[in-house]
């Protein structure tokens, strides 16, 4: 577990209890970790949507989504399978453009600009909004090349070695791979591969990192490494994470969005509030496992 | 089912069935063995006649001799023929590899499913055209067209023949490369696009490297095809052995020399006749080595992606 959190200035203070939370083992059973709420909550919105509808052909996958995702915090998206979490995530960096049948209506703003305006270049947008996928997908290249890939295509080639090292350090992978940077990324274990993918995403210094169930293909040890990492990442980046694991959402997120079947965003609030005192009965049923 | 006696219907026929299964097995084995036997016999024939030849002409004179004039001067230096073959192969590769990989990239990465379903079979038809037609086309249309463009070509020339061979093997390169590229998992493309790569960057920086072993094998297979090609070169490039080939002049490749030998000395028996087998075995060795290389590369890099 990293100590970096301790030294980070926290405007809402009470950092004492925070340190405790970071250094004590993560309680899986204790659903809400109230100390997480001490991250700055007053921060500005970086991604917001209004009345966002998404269709695949004739079927509607998301209905009228309104959400305001705060900067430099972790926002978790939970909900039953097929409710549209991945779809929403892919709307943010326009990865849905790659799906022919997908149609989007409404507004989705990244820093005050609607990303679906006709003058937006999705390639440039994706350079500022990184993505980590459900199962690790390193390129069949060396570890170094994997991390350097984004830097190269974006022409940020000065000080590349340093940037690669920094990214691998931020992804808590440097110590494990520093002596084997020229080995294939595919030779790493699953958890290492996923951290490599995170390093690849953060190497280009994006503003937002989207993660679609980043730990679902990982064992518990690797999962907790990735979770620790996500908490650290929120120091510098806005993180939006889809997860099926409610404890995980409770542990690592500041805000939680609950989608329910039919593609509605039923509740969106501080994580503690959503888990302890949800407004909607349906959300409560979902969280307590009465409904899936 | 509704038999009166109570012998179940799965009893008692195993003898007949297994005899039939056995005979089918042997029949199938015979078919498989036939092709192996024929191949072995061909190689053996080549080898025996080649050995006879090397008893008359020293291997040194054959492999390092720089003059090929079997009937007039009894000069059996194979170097000009090998030079001609390599020249034509390299030239045709210069056409087939870029065009083949480009069309594979288009088909695999850019084309809609509908376009692909039209273009892919169309390309494969190219592979079904008899090569003598390509040769004729090169001689009668391509050479005049290139001359019209201002190239100083002789009637028989290496350039037209090479271009035609290149065109002939494009479908091989594109079809096999496209298979290799389509097999690259989509998750890698997603990773590329997610990093803000353009379609071209994903194609050239992610998909092609990940499919490199398959693409490389397609080159080797296509090139062995080019090396062994006979009709196009005989018809369009002529039969003039040259130590230093020129694209604008006629030349003679190994297969063309074999055709020439077999047509001049149909009765057999002379040293020149046996030289044909020496060339044949040399050609066989070259293509065999290339196929080995392709198998090696394919197996070595097979699991580039999971
Ligand atoms: N490429 C696609 N083409 C057609 N329909 C799709 C496509 N992707 C998703 N859908 C549909 O859209 C709906 C939402 O899918 P989505 O993948 O966003 O759900 P999810 O919440 O991420 O589910 P999971 O938790 O299983 O990953 C589903 O009904 C799904 O069938
Ligand atoms: Mg999903």
Closest approach of chain B CAs to the CA of A85, in angstroms? Answer: 17
In this structure, the answer to whether residues B134 and B283 fall within a common structural domain is yes
Q: Is B97 inside a domain boundary?
A: yes
SS3 B217: helix
Give the residue extent of every domain in chain A.
44-137+207-287
For the record, the structure tokens of B166 come out as 């290149």
Q: Pick the closest to residue B195 from A125, A101, A160, A229 (CA basis).
A: A125
For the segment A97-151, what is each residue's pLDDT rounded down to a tens digit? 989 899 999 999 999 899 999 899 999 999 999 999 988 999 999 999 999 999 9
Q: Is B146 inside a domain boundary?
A: yes
Chain A residue numbers with beta carbons less than 8 Å from the beta carbon of B191 are 133, 137-139, 197, 200
pLDDT per residue rounded down to tens, chain A (292 residues): 444 444 444 444 444 343 334 444 444 444 444 444 455 555 788 999 999 999 999 999 999 999 999 999 999 999 999 999 999 999 999 999 989 899 999 999 999 899 999 899 999 999 999 999 988 999 999 999 999 999 999 988 889 999 999 999 988 899 999 999 999 999 998 889 999 999 999 999 999 999 999 888 778 888 888 898 898 888 889 999 999 888 899 999 999 999 998 889 999 999 999 998 888 888 888 888 765 4
Q: Pick the closest to residue A201 from A138, A159, A255 (CA basis).
A: A138
Class of domain A44-137+207-287: alpha beta
Minimum CA distance residue for ligand 1 atom 3: A56
Q: Does any CB of chain B come closer than 8 Å to the CB of residue A127?
A: yes
CA-nearest residue of chain B to A148?
B195
Scanning the structure block, which residue is given the tokens 């999705």? A122
Q: Pick the closest to residue B90 from B158, B19, B180 (CA basis).
A: B158
In this structure, the answer to whether residues B47 and B72 fall within a common structural domain is no
In this structure, the answer to whether residues B126 and B223 fall within a common structural domain is yes
- Ligand closest in space to the Cα of A133: 2
Q: Is B1 inside a domain boundary?
A: no
Contacts of B102 (CB under 8 A, 6+ apart): none
Answer yes or no: is the C-beta of A90 below 6 A from any ligand 1 atom.
Answer: no
Tally of domains within chain B: 2
Beta carbons of A141 and B201 less than 8 Å apart: no
Instruction: Give distance in angstroms: CA of A84 to centre of ligand 1.
Output: 6
Chain B residue numbers with beta carbons less than 8 Å from the beta carbon of A150 are 195-196
In this structure, the answer to whether residues B132 and B185 fall within a common structural domain is yes
**CATH number of the domain that B261 lies in?**
1.10.3720.10
| DSSP code of residue A132 | E
**What is the number of the ligand 1 atom nearest to the C-alpha of A79?**
21
Question: Assign residue A75 a region: left if phi > 0, alpha if psi is -120 to 50, beta otherwise?
Answer: beta
Q: Is B212 inside a domain boundary?
A: yes
The H-assigned helical ranges of A24-135 are 85-92, 122-128
Q: State the CB neighbour count (10 A cutoff) for residue A170.
A: 22
Rounded Cα gap, residues B154 and A155, in angstroms: 49
In this structure, the answer to whether residues B33 and B75 fall within a common structural domain is no
In this structure, the answer to whether residues B100 and B155 fall within a common structural domain is yes
- Chain B, residues 166-185, CB within 8 A of chain A, namely 185
For the record, the structure tokens of A216 come out as 């679902």
Closest approach of chain A CAs to the CA of B212, in angstroms? Answer: 11
In this structure, the answer to whether residues B255 and B201 fall within a common structural domain is yes
Closest approach of chain A CAs to the CA of B190, in angstroms? Answer: 8
Chain B residue numbers with beta carbons less than 8 Å from the beta carbon of A93 are 194
Instruction: Give distance in angstroms: CA of A85 to centre of ligand 2.
Output: 6
In this structure, the answer to whether residues B46 and B148 fall within a common structural domain is no
Instruction: Determine the angle formed by the axes of helices A190-203 and A160-170, rounding to 10 degrees.
Output: 130
In this structure, the answer to whether residues B140 and B88 fall within a common structural domain is yes
Instruction: Give distance in angstroms: CA of A82 to centre of ligand 2.
Output: 7
Closest approach of chain B CAs to the CA of A149, in angstroms? Answer: 8
In this structure, the answer to whether residues B199 and B233 fall within a common structural domain is yes
SS3 A214: coil
Domain extent at residue B122: 68-300
Answer yes or no: is the C-beta of A101 below 6 A from any ligand 1 atom.
Answer: yes
Beta carbons of B191 and A139 less than 8 Å apart: yes
CB A146 within 8 A of CB A173: no
CB B236 within 8 A of CB B157: yes
Q: Enter the pTM of the model.
A: 0.80
Answer yes or no: is the C-beta of A185 below 6 A from any ligand 1 atom.
Answer: no
Rounded Cα gap, residues B211 and B11, in angstroms: 53
Chain A residue numbers with beta carbons less than 8 Å from the beta carbon of B201 are 153
Q: Is B305 inside a domain boundary?
A: no
Q: Is B61 inside a domain boundary?
A: no
- The pLDDT averaged over each successive group of 10 residues in chain B (306 residues) is 63 77 92 93 90 91 90 88 94 95 95 90 86 92 92 90 94 93 93 93 93 90 90 89 88 91 74 89 91 82 58
Q: Is B62 inside a domain boundary?
A: no
In this structure, the answer to whether residues B120 and B18 fall within a common structural domain is no
In this structure, the answer to whether residues B169 and B39 fall within a common structural domain is no
Q: What pLDDT score was predicted for residue B303?
A: 53
Rounded Cα gap, residues A271 and A269, in angstroms: 6
Q: Does any CB of chain B come closer than 8 Å to the CB of residue A34?
A: no
Contacts of B121 (CB under 8 A, 6+ apart): none
């Amino acid at each position: 577990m990293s100590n970096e959190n301790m030294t980070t200035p926290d405007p809402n203070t009470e950092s004492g209890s925070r340190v405790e939370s970071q250094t004590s083992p993560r309680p899986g059973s204790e659903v809400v970790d109230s100390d997480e709420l001490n991250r700055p909550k007053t921060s500005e919105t970086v991604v917001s949507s209004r009345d966002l509808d998404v269709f695949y052909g004739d079927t509607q996958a998301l209905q009228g989504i309104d959400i305001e995702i705060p900067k430099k915090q972790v926002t978790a998206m939970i909900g039953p399978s097929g409710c549209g979490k991945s779809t929403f995530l892919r709307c943010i960096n326009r990865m849905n453009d790659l799906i022919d049948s997908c149609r989007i209506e409404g507004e989705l703003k990244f820093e005050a600009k609607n990303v679906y305006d006709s003058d937006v270049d999705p390639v440039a947008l994706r350079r500022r909004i990184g993505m980590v996928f459900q199962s690790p997908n390193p390129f069949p290249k060396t570890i170094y090349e994997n991390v350097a890939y984004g830097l190269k295509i974006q022409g940020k080639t000065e000080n590349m070695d340093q940037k690669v090292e920094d990214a691998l350090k931020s992804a808590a992978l440097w110590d494990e791979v520093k002596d084997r940077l020229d080995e294939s990324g595919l030779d790493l274990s699953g958890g290492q591969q996923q951290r490599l993918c995170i390093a690849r995403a953060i190497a280009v210094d994006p503003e937002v990192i989207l993660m679609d169930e980043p730990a679902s293909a990982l064992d518990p040890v690797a999962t907790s490494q990735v979770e620790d990492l996500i908490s650290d990442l929120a120091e510098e980046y806005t993180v939006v994470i889809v997860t099926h694991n409610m404890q995980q959402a409770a542990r690592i997120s500041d805000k939680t969005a609950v989608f329910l079947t039919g593609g509605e965003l039923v509740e969106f609030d501080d994580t503690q509030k959503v888990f302890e005192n949800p407004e909607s009965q349906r959300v409560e049923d979902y969280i307590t496992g009465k409904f899936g | 089912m509704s038999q009166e006696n109570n012998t179940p219907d799965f009893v008692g026929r195993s003898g007949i069935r297994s005899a039939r299964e056995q005979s089918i097995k042997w029949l199938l084995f015979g078919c498989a063995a036939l092709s192996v036997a024929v191949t072995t016999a061909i190689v053996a024939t080549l080898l025996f006649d080649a050995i006879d030849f090397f008893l008359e002409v020293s291997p040194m004179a054959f492999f390092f001799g720089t003059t090929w004039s079997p009937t007039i001067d009894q000069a059996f230096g194979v170097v000009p023929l090998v030079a001609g073959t390599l020249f034509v192969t390299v030239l045709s590769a210069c056409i087939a590899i870029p065009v083949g990989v480009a069309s594979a990239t288009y088909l695999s990465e850019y084309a809609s499913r509908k376009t692909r379903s039209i273009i892919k079979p169309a390309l494969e038809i190219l592979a079904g055209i008899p090569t003598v037609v390509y040769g004729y086309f090169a001689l009668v249309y391509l050479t005049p067209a290139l001359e019209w463009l201002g190239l100083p070509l002789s009637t028989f020339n290496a350039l037209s023949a090479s271009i035609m061979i290149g065109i002939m093997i494009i479908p091989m390169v594109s079809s096999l490369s496209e298979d290799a590229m389509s097999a690259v998992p989509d998750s890698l493309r997603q990773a590329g696009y997610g990093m803000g790569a353009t379609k071209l960057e994903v194609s050239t920086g992610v998909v092609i490297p990940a499919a490199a072993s398959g693409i490389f094998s397609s080159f080797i297979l296509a090139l062995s095809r080019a090396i062994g090609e006979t009709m196009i070169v005989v018809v369009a490039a002529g039969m003039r052995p040259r130590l230093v080939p020129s694209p604008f002049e006629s030349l003679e490749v190994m297969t063309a020399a074999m055709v020439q030998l077999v047509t001049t000395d149909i009765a057999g028996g002379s040293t020149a006749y046996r030289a044909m087998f020496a060339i044949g075995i040399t050609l066989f060795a070259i293509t065999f080595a290339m196929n080995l290389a392709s198998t090696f590369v394919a197996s070595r890099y097979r699991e580039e992606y999971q």
